[in-house]
Amino acid sequence: MLAFELIVQGLIQGSIYALIAVGLTLVYGLLRILHIAHAALFTLGGYFGVLVTNATGSFGLAIVVAMVAVGGLGMLVYRFCYEPILARPPHVALIASIGLFIALEEVFRLVFGPYGISYTAPPLTATVVVASMNLKQAEIMVMAGVIVLIGGLAVLTRRTRVGIAWRATVTDPAMAQSFGVDVIKVRYLNFFIGSALAAAAGVMVALLNNLVEPTMGSVPSYKALAIIVLGGLGDVRGTLIAALALGVVESFGTIYLGTILDRDAIAFVFLIVVLMIRPQGLFGKT
Amino acid sequence: MKFSWSKLAVLAVTGALTGALTGALWGGAAQADTVKIGFNVPLTGFAAADGKSALTGAELAVEQANAEGGIDGKMIELLVYDDQASPKESVPIATKLATQDKVNIAISGSYSGATRAAAGVFQANGIPYIAAYAVHPGITRSGDFVFRTSFVGEVQGRAGAKLAGDILGKKRAVLITLKNDFGKSLAAGFKEAAGKFGVTIVAEYEYSIKDRQFGPIVSKVKADNPEVIYASGYFFTAGPLVSQLRAAGIEVPIIGQEGYDSQKFIEIAGAAAEGTIITTSLDRDSDQAETKAFIAAFEKKAGYKVDMVAASGHTAVMVAIAAMRQAGTTDRKAIRDAIAGLTLQASTGKISFNKLGEVRKNVQVQVVRDGNWRRHSVIDDPELLAPPTE
Amino acid sequence: MEYEITLMTLAGIAVIAALGLNLITGFCGQISLGHAAFYGAGAYGAAMLTTNGVSFWLALPAGALVAGALGLVVGLASLRVRHDFLAITTMGVGFLFIGVVRQQDALGGEMGIYAIPDPGLGRLGYMVLVVVLAGLVAAFSLYLKRSWMGFAFDAIADDEDTALMVGIDVARYKLAAFAMGTAIAGVAGVLYAHEIKYIGPDSFGFPESIAMLAMVAVGGIGSVGGVAFAAVVMTVLPHWLQVVAEYKLLLYGALLFAVMRFSPGGLAGLVRSWRTRAGGFRIAATGKVEP
């Protein structure tokens, strides 16, 4: 029974990881950038979620506002931060992204205060008993949300013209362009969707913890990188599975290895072992 | 390419010299006719929240003392530097405070690592240094010029064991330990005294300061079915932890410590915070004039409810001021001796120091009632609360 | 002067650490996001010795050896994974190092190691030692750059497969780069431990690795002078920025971003492009461009 609970808890955590990491892997797939500042957009999503909910009382509105606003900001980040340095060696974008991340965290602290903010009346706190396990509605919503958002993404990429253009651009940008795909538009769309997903994750984490701090993105900033590498860099399906797997590994690790290694170390042992066996990630192609 | 490196080396040296020069200029800018208290505190980065409270508490103490006429007619000046809670930053800052600003005394409003590293510098320069709330055991062991106005973790851990076994009468405990020097030393103290109060430890789980999601631990604790939970942490970890424990249907008492001691904890955990009991330094329902006056003045100045860190910052500066008034001189050795012999009624109660420089005071037990911290009880067993002496 | 001496000492230590990373990342093209682990290994190794009565002069090479040995092991990983996969693997090594150190009571666990003995050189003497060592590391880097090994590194950094094809023993050179670069980081770690006299797990975390990589990138990846200059400035900068107190870290992050955004070749790239403009006929190499 405990094992079942640990798996469910791991899946909840893994769902959060998935929402953050999918956006990151989308960016990587298209532009080969390790977009650390993605984690700052996740935090900003959390701030929007709490502020809009507290101001209007509507959690649904808060999610929409957070996703749209942060998605838009993601496009600006691409336009003003990454586009000018795309042709440079990969470390340039990496360090620029880190600088941006540090600066944004400090902006959050200066604007929203160092103590963090909370929902004054947190929604979805009622507990539901599922197979003798108490789950908050919010936790169920997180898992359902991941299925909806990522399912939607799958439909988008497989069934729509935009999605096909996007996949073509990922596979071969030059070829896609010669077939009339507007590569630049695809990139904007890519940043919008990735950032909006991160914002959704931010809103949900804010709800689970009832706390948004300026440093909320510090763990996702590096753990999401580990996840997209595990998933095979740029592979959405692989990232999704890697995120859920990592959530479950951490869940069991916390209980049975907690006094030997901390959560981060457990995650990275898993990563290193996988990479030594499969250097291209769990699902990457050689 | 061939010569660029040497040019850059020249640039580097010029840059360093410019830095040295500007440093010297700023150092010289401090006013001569004041009593100077140095203050290293994290104002940026991850520890900025505690830094802000500590600084506000310290500023309040200086304002209050200056309103009373300062020290022998001289105004008190607080020299504040941001150390980002990092030892790498705090060592140059301590050196600057000691050798350029030539402070009479210095206070740490920072975390353990930064404070431990700075303490060595102040000790070497013969400047009294008081740690407001850093818990690392090595701080006071830096030497005879270093003092601490907060409990070491072990003392508070022992108080926690008494609270669990003796005051609440709960015998089967689960420990949820924060993996840093604070959490580890609390757990050590709790385990040390547990037997004395008939408390058995069923299990112990550890978490990292970055964790906010405790699902796996909560599930396991529920299966362990303890009578009491002793969970170390800070308000930003304890808030989510307590609310997740309660949401899972765990009803047993939860004992925390001074790290919980902030209104923010109650904001985060909401209704789940009710009944949480902590060992801390600040008594909200105190009838002591000093404590009451501090709480009122702080909330007026800061605009938010008082917390333990603010009270600790205030107390440490008060100790410094009281010692300087008593010494009646700016001689640092005399100030050190005055601190060692001091007995002071401060915002965190009546305090004095042992020969290692560790504080002796009562442990205040507070409980969340109707969304506020209120008095639960006081632990005043000098033997149990005896800080380390060497 | 003591304050300036302290800053110079810390700056010198940063120069050594950054030049070590520059050897791996700049010369040999292997991005490492876990350099602080080796810095930490050197610091812990030496602090364990000196707190148990061993002489500082023995602890200094011992720290380098410990870090270099660990570096060799991680170097083996670099033979297995490449590019961004390697970057994230080294990041993992950093977290693993911290995670293990945290739980070792022998290494002080969460309490770290404190009361590390003074090497007894005096403040000024210690600064001179650090600066001399920094100079030696810089000289060694410059020598290496012009040596056959330097050319091999360059070829590997350019394109590993081509390097292999023209008969360069890629594996051996990669291992050499990791072993040397991390041993140098170990030296920096020893010097750090005996300057600050307190080390704990948090002294060598991910932010520290990032700070070192930032020094290399801002200085101009591969440029010895540029990296050394950036290491000095970025160590001293937070102290200059004390005047802006609350905005310090914001400014630091913004500057980091701005340098990469507007001068992707780092400061060395900036200097090069000035010289090209001034000299007219010099050909500028503004950094390698990978597809």
CATH number 3.40.50.2300 given to B153-280+364-379? yes
B173 forms beta bridges with B201, B228
Among candidate residues A39, A108, C111, the one with its CA nearest the CA of residue B154 = C111
Crossing angle between the packed helical segments C35-50 and C83-103, to the nearest 10 degrees: 30
Coil, helix or strand at residue A268: helix
pLDDT at C287: 44
- Burial call B181-199: b when 16+ CB within 10 Å, e when fewer: bbbbbbbbbbbebbeebeb
CA atoms within 13 A on the CB side of B32: 1
Question: In whole angstroms, what is the distance from residue A35 CA to residue A26 CA?
Answer: 10
B268/A106 touch (CB, cutoff 8 Å), yes or no: no
Q: Is B202 exposed, middle or buried (0-12, 13-18, 19+ CB in 10 A)?
A: middle
Question: In whole angstroms, what is the distance from residue B65 CA to residue B61 CA?
Answer: 6
B181/C275 touch (CB, cutoff 8 Å), yes or no: no
Question: In whole angstroms, what is the distance from residue B127 CA to residue B144 CA?
Answer: 10
Q: Which helix (H) or strand (E) holds B35?
A: strand B35-41
Among candidate residues C127, C116, C105, the one with its CA nearest the CA of residue C51 = C116
- Higher pLDDT: B145 or A286? It is B145
**Two structure tokens written together for A124:** 């979805």
The tens-digit pLDDT sequence of chain B (390 residues) is 334 444 444 445 445 445 444 444 444 444 458 899 999 999 988 888 899 999 999 999 999 999 998 898 899 999 999 999 999 999 999 999 999 999 999 999 999 999 999 999 999 999 999 999 998 888 999 999 999 999 998 999 999 999 999 999 999 999 999 988 899 999 999 999 999 999 999 999 999 888 998 989 999 999 999 999 999 999 999 999 999 999 988 999 999 999 999 999 999 999 999 999 999 999 999 989 989 999 999 999 999 999 999 999 999 999 999 999 999 888 899 999 999 999 999 999 899 999 999 999 999 999 999 999 999 999 998 888 888 888
Q: What is the pLDDT of residues A209-241, one digit of tens each?
A: 999 999 999 999 899 988 988 888 878 888 889
- Higher pLDDT: A261 or B6? It is A261
B206 forms beta bridges with B177
Q: Is residue C219 part of a domain?
A: no
Complete DSSP assignment for A217-253 = THHHHHHHHHHHHHTTSS-HHHHHHHHHHHHHHHHHH
C84/A229 touch (CB, cutoff 8 Å), yes or no: yes
B240/A2 touch (CB, cutoff 8 Å), yes or no: no
pLDDT at C59: 94
- Burial call B106-133: b when 16+ CB within 10 Å, e when fewer: bbbbbbbbbbbbbbbbbbbbebbbbbbb
Q: Is residue C152 part of a domain?
A: yes
Phi, psi (degrees; rounded to nearest 5) at B378: -130, 135
- pLDDT level of residue A78 (50, 70, 90 thresholds): very high
Among candidates A32, A95, A276 on the partner chain, residue whose Cβ is nearest the Cβ of C214 = A95
Q: Which helix (H) or strand (E) holds B79?
A: strand B76-82
Chain A contact present for C202, CB below 8 A? no
**CB contact at 8 A, A264 and C95:** yes
Q: Is A228 exposed, middle or buried (0-12, 13-18, 19+ CB in 10 A)?
A: buried
What is the Cα B302 distance to its own chain's centre? 18
Residue with tokens 């707190």: C51
Q: Is residue C259 part of a domain?
A: no
Q: Is residue C179 part of a domain?
A: yes
pLDDT at A285: 64
**CB contact at 8 A, C224 and C145:** yes
- Higher pLDDT: A32 or A67? It is A67
**Two structure tokens written together for B154:** 């072990």
Our CA-based measurement puts residue A211 at a distance from the nearest CA of chain B, in whole angstroms, of 6
Residue A135, pLDDT above cutoff 80: yes
Residue C104: closest CA among chain A residues belongs to which residue? A260
User: Count of domains in chain C?
Assistant: 1
Handedness of CA A151, A155, A158, A163 (dihedral sign): negative
**CB contact at 8 A, C101 and C201:** yes
B205 forms beta bridges with B176
Our CA-based measurement puts residue A97 at a distance from the nearest CA of chain C, in whole angstroms, of 7
Residue B81 per-residue DSSP state: E
Residue A78 per-residue DSSP state: I
Question: In whole angstroms, what is the distance from residue C203 CA to residue C195 CA?
Answer: 13
Question: In whole angstroms, what is the distance from residue C95 CA to residue A219 CA?
Answer: 12
**CB contact at 8 A, B110 and B47:** yes
A116/B49 touch (CB, cutoff 8 Å), yes or no: yes
Residue A261 per-residue DSSP state: S
**CB contact at 8 A, C222 and C141:** no
Domain ranges, ordered by start, for chain A: 17-216
**Two structure tokens written together for C274:** 């000035």
Residue A185, pLDDT above cutoff 60: yes
Q: Is residue C239 part of a domain?
A: no
Residue with tokens 């490492």: C32
Q: Is residue C76 part of a domain?
A: yes
Q: What is the pLDDT of residues C185-241, one digit of tens each?
A: 999 999 999 999 999 998 998 889 988 998 998 898 889 999 999 999 989 888 887
pLDDT at C278: 67
Question: In whole angstroms, what is the distance from residue C180 CA to residue C67 CA?
Answer: 9
Q: Is residue C106 part of a domain?
A: yes
C126 is in which domain, residue-wise?
Answer: 2-205
Among candidates A93, A95, A222 on the partner chain, residue whose Cβ is nearest the Cβ of C213 = A95
Number of neighbours of residue C25 by Cβ within 10 angstroms: 28
Chain C contact present for A253, CB below 8 A? no
Number of neighbours of residue C159 by Cβ within 10 angstroms: 13
Among candidate residues C179, C284, C269, the one with its CA nearest the CA of residue C230 = C269
Q: What is the largest CA-CA distance in chain C?
A: 62
B378 forms beta bridges with B364
Alpha helices, DSSP H, located in chain A: 2-31, 38-56, 59-77, 90-112, 137-159, 161-171, 173-178, 183-209, 218-230, 236-256, 263-277
Coil, helix or strand at residue B356: coil
**Two structure tokens written together for A242:** 């890697």
Interface test with A, best of C73, C83, C93, C95 (most A CBs within 10 A): C95
> How are beta strands B228-231 and B254-256 bridged, if at all?
parallel
CATH number of this structure's domain B28-151+287-357 = 3.40.50.2300
- Stretches where chain C sits below pLDDT 50 are 280-291
B243/A218 touch (CB, cutoff 8 Å), yes or no: no
